[in-house]
């Protein structure tokens, strides 16, 4: 970590976006060392519940859980532990071709204060209220800017990139799912979570997107998934042109695409997709589908997501077993219901650890992002280090690359939160369905009267 960024460097880093855990800055200066790079800076919850100190690393149970990954366990900070998690855990599972774990570099408190101040004007207000930059951290992760191609300037050729959060692509079939929650076996987690977010006032519109379409391996269903993401991008779909955001929310939520948005995006595509106006968006979304199918990344991602074999309703019991604490879920269920979880509570520490590691890895895989970057292939230039995809409708050929991002190490002590959130999601969805049914019944009764 010989590189150190100070207050004087802050003006060369601009806000790109953010998630719950990190702020992402892109480099806009001229230093060859940083051109084509982004910086991931750790955030701190506004309520101080996480990252209270810059040097907090793994808890004792987490050290035992990840004991086989020596670099991760010995990491001095949570930030560096997350870097090693991406490098030594996620990269072997998802493939080194699609992951840049980055490098850790030193950052001063003055640098962090300056970039936080600079970003205030463009950060969504609700993001600012939820979390600030962790000023006690002394490191950040420097990694490739996946929205562009290395060693290529906008003057040389166009690069268009889409960022997608695909979410969980399968329905859990665990025997430990309560009968009252059986809807989880039929409806995707994403679809149900939409109901809770509307209930909480976080969303006004429910997305038409369903991850089951995305992971279906059907070109038609994948095309539908892309169009649904485009029409209700929320924070799950963004498009960059030469590194600049052109569509989607800047760290926030772009709820629904209107006619003006659609027209502006058609204009963005005019030098990329060589088609008549009104068809460019459709062809571009089809291009994304082709690249995802050709690359095989969705199949590989789904395999990692499916490491969650028990669902959180089973994994929560294993968690209490692992930390040697009385199971709060069994206490709530009562002795009659809790008997069915006896096999989970009789597992050895090694068996429990394996299940929890797989669950947390799968949770990362369900929450990560995918960036697909395209550049039109120049006439006669068939040699490239990148994969090739063709757009038959316009007779164009594109080099492309696919990258996984947001490979965050999940906290073991958030298992209770994951379980409680899961229960809230199911209850909210069932409530919404019942309300819709009651509304239809009322409407039918009204019609019968007339």
Q: How confident is the model at residue 253 (pLDDT cuts 50, 70, 90)?
A: low
pLDDT per residue as tens digits for the range 313-322: 999 999 999 9
Listed ranges 123-132, 151-160, 395-404; the one with the highest mean pLDDT = 395-404
Choose between 382 and 397: higher pLDDT: 397
Compute the chain's Rg from CA coordinates: 23
Condensed to tens digits (0 to 9), the pLDDT of residues 39-85 reads 999 998 655 544 444 445 899 999 999 999 999 999 988 889 999 99
Whole-model pTM: value is 0.92
Q: Residue 32: pLDDT above 70?
A: yes
Where do the domains of the chain lie, and which CATH numbers do they carry?
A: 4-47+54-144 (3.30.200.110), 157-449 (no CATH)
> Which residue would you say has higher pLDDT here, 2 or 264?
264
At 310-344, the pLDDT tens digits run 999 999 999 999 999 999 999 988 776 778 899 99
């Amino acid at each position: 970590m010989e590189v150190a960024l100070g207050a004087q460097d802050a003006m060369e880093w601009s806000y790109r976006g953010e998630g719950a855990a990190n702020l992402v800055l892109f480099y806009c200066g001229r230093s060859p060392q940083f051109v084509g790079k982004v910086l991931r800076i750790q955030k701190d919850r506004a309520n101080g519940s996480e990252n209270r100190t810059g040097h907090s690393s793994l808890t004792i149970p987490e050290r035992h859980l990840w004991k086989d990954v020596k670099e991760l366990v010995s990491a001095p900070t949570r930030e560096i532990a997350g870097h090693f998690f991406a490098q030594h855990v996620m990269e072997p599972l998802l493939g080194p071709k699609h992951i840049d774990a980055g490098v850790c570099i030193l950052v001063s408190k003055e640098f962090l204060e300056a970039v936080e101040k600079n970003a205030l004007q463009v950060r969504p207000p609700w993001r600012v209220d939820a979390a600030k930059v962790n000023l006690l951290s002394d490191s950040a992760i420097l990694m490739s800017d996946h929205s562009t191609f290395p060693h290529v300037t906008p003057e040389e050729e166009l690069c268009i990139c889409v960022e997608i959060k695909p979410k969980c692509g399968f329905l859990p079939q665990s025997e430990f799912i309560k009968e009252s929650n059986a809807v989880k076996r039929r409806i995707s987690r994403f679809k149900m979570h939409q109901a809770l977010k509307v209930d909480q006032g976080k969303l006004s519109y429910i997305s038409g997107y369903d991850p089951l379409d995305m992971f279906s391996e059907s070109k038609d269903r994948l095309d539908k998934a892309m169009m649904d993401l485009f029409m209700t991008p929320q924070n799950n779909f963004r498009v960059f042109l030469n590194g600049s955001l052109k569509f989607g929310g800047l760290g926030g939520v772009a709820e629904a695409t209107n006619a003006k948005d659609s027209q502006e995006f058609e204009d963005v595509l005019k030098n990329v997709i060589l088609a008549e106006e009104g068809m460019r968006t459709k062809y571009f979304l089809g291009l994304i589908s082709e690249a995802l199918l050709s690359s095989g990344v969705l199949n590989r991602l789904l395999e990692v997501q499916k490491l969650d074999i028990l669902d959180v309703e089973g994994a929560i019991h294993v968690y209490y077993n692992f930390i040697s604490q009385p199971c709060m879920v069994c206490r709530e269920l009562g002795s009659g219901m809790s008997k069915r979880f006896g096999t989970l509570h009789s597992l050895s520490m090694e068996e429990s650890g394996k299940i929890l590691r797989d669950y947390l890895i799968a949770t990362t895989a369900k929450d990560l992002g995918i960036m697909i970057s395209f550049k039109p292939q120049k006439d006669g230039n068939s040699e490239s280090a990148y994969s090739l995809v063709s757009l038959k409708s316009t007779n164009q050929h594109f080099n492309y690359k696919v990258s996984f991002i947001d490979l965050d190490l999940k906290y073991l002590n958030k298992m209770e939160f994951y379980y409680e959130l899961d229960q809230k999601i199911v209850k909210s969805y069932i409530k919404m369905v019942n309300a819709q049914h009651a509304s239809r019944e009322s409407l039918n009764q009204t019609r019968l009267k007339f």
